[in-house]
Amino acid sequence: MGLLAFIAQEIDPNNPFASWVNPDATGLTGAQFRGLIISGIAQGAMYGLIALGYSMVYGILGFINFAHGEVFMVGAMTGMIASNKLADAGLWETNFIGSLLIVMLLSVLVCSLTAVVMEKVAYRPLRNTPRLIPLITSIGVSFFLQNASIVLLGPSAKSYPEMPDWLKDQYTFLGISGARLLVIFAAAASMAVLWYYVENTKNGKAMRAVAEDAEIAALMGINVNRTIVKVFALGGAMAGMAGILWGVLFRSVIHSMGFLPGIKAFSAAVVGGIGHLGGAMTGGLSIGMAESVGPLMILEPLGVNGVSQLRDAVAFAMLIVMLLLRPSGIFDERLPAEDRT
């Protein structure tokens, strides 16, 4: 490692690769580097939460719910409205934790509802059609939700109310800013709840059975339709959670915010191995890290300037490379029975 750092330093003293191997050497300082890693993890945790919805739906129905990113947007918007109302009432300042919990609960409910309605209206009638048909429909849904947000709430960016002091950047715990810590903690908690639900409850068992083989599951007395509704509700809930966390971290929300995180979260699901819960989270973290440190560490040494503009390209490139080299993901993908080859 030391040798690698040395070579890298010899080539270019400001090479971030050198500082990756030996953070104190040149370029980025250790603290900056740690900051990048932490923000990558926080970002990735949110991608992971969204990715869960893509992954579970793909695992059961075998199609990409393109509109899932828009559910995330709905969550962030709901949170924005609710938190601003709470701030007007003065609750946001006096009892921040309590009001944040209310906002989270509300957003999770609204998002679950959105996802369930979406399934019922747009996807259920297309259950047995070729795979591209529901995908095209979901593009329509995504278009519709995005533009519904424009016409109802206006096209401008909106912001969450002022966060309490301990969530601001200058307050850190162990070198991690409070907001990021909150995001990571909340994401981990939601993930744990989801994990418990899917692995240890009867409903979760039904979900796994339907994902394994819907027809056989139906023969075993599982109500497949209801299970699918639950899957959509759960995925929506996770996206709603991610929406709130996004709002807490960046404070600014806009109608188009669902698109890129949605695509990246889908990439995360694929990178982790689609249909696999742990995979979604792992994939989310790796995409988050890759786009936070990738541009500086890989592109800049290659002599590309203005690397931060290419941040979004990193996630896509990672998706493409992953699909080319190992399409089944880090963990092996789990697909519905008829899609296995």
Partner 1 sequence: MTTIPPRPTFTQDWLRIARMGGIAAVGQTFIALSNMPVRLDERLLIKPILSMGYLILIVLPFAVGYRYGHQIKREGMPTFTPSMYEVLGGALSGALAGGGLSLLAVLLRHFDLRDPLVNWSPILLNLLTFGNATWFAVIIWIVIGTGTGAAGGLLRLLGPRAYRTAISVAITVASAAVLESLIVDIAKGLGLENLTDRLYASRGGIEWLSAIVLAVASGTLGVLGRGRFRQAKTQLSQLEGTARTQANAALIALTLAALIVLPLFAGKLTNELLANVGIFVLLALGLNIVVGLAGILDLGYVAFFAVGTYTAAVLTAATSPRISPEMPWLLALIFVVVITGLVGLFIGAPVIRMRGDYLAIVTLGFGEIIRLLFLSDWLSGWFNGAQGLVQIPPANIFGLTEIGGTEPRRVFYLVLAFCALAIYVSWRLERSRLGRAWMAVREDETVAEAMGINTVNIKLMAFVVGAMLGSFSGAIVAVKVGSVFPSSFLIVVSMVILVVVIFGGMGNIVGVIAGAAVLIGVLGGPRQPGLLAEFSEFKLLIYGALLIWMMLARPEGLIPSMRRSRELHQHEITQDAWLKN
In angstroms, rounded to a whole number, what is the distance separating the alpha carbons of residues 228 and 77? Answer: 25
> Could you tell me the two tokens for 80?
């924005």
Taking the complex as a whole, the smallest distance from the CB of residue 31 to partner 1 amounts, in Å, to 27
Which of 235, 176, 259, 308 has its CA nearest to residue 52? 235
Residue 147 or residue 201: which is nearer to partner 1 going by CB? Answer: 147
Nearest approach in angstroms of CB 135 to partner 1 is: 5
Minimum separation from the CB atom of position 85 to partner 1 (A):
8
CB 143, min distance to partner 1, A: 3
Amino acid sitting at position 201:
T
- DSSP E strands, 197-296: 252-253
Handedness of CA 258, 261, 263, 265 (dihedral sign): negative
Long-range pairs of 121-126 with CB within 8 A, sequence gap ≥ 24: 123/61, 123/63, 123/65, 124/225, 124/228
**Closer of 197 and 316 to partner 1 (Cβ):** 316
Q: With 0-12 CB in 10 A as exposed, 13-18 as middle and 19+ as buried, what is 325?
A: exposed
Please identify, using beta-carbon distances, which residue of 161 and 172 lies nearer to partner 1: 161
Q: How far is the CB of 132 from partner 1 (least distance, A)?
A: 5
Which residue's CB is nearer to partner 1, number 120 or number 208? 120
Report in angstroms how near the CB of residue 290 gets to partner 1 at its nearest: 14
Parallel/antiparallel/unpaired status of strands 252-253 and 158-159: antiparallel
Which runs of consecutive H residues, i.e. helices, occur in 62-131? 68-89, 91-94, 96-118
The smaller minimum CB distance to partner 1, of residues 198 and 270, is found at 270
Closest CB to partner 1 among 33 and 266? 266
Shortest separation between residue 267's beta carbon and partner 1, angstroms: 8
Residue 168 CB coordination number (10 Å): 13
- Quick check: helix, strand or coil at residue 90? coil
Rounded to the nearest whole angstrom, what is the least distance from the CB of residue 189 to partner 1 in the complex?
28
Give the Cα separation of 105 and 32 in Å (integer): 35
Residue with tokens 């979760």: 204
The C-alpha atoms of residue 116 and residue 273 are separated, in whole angstroms, by 24
Interface residues toward partner 1, by CB under 8 A: 63-64, 81, 84-85, 121-122, 125-126, 128-129, 131-137, 139-148, 150-154, 259, 263, 266-267, 270, 304-307, 309-310, 312-313, 316-317, 319-320, 323-324, 327
Using the minimum distance from each CB to partner 1, give the nearer residue, 177 or 292. 292
By beta-carbon proximity to partner 1, the closer residue of 118 and 183 is 118
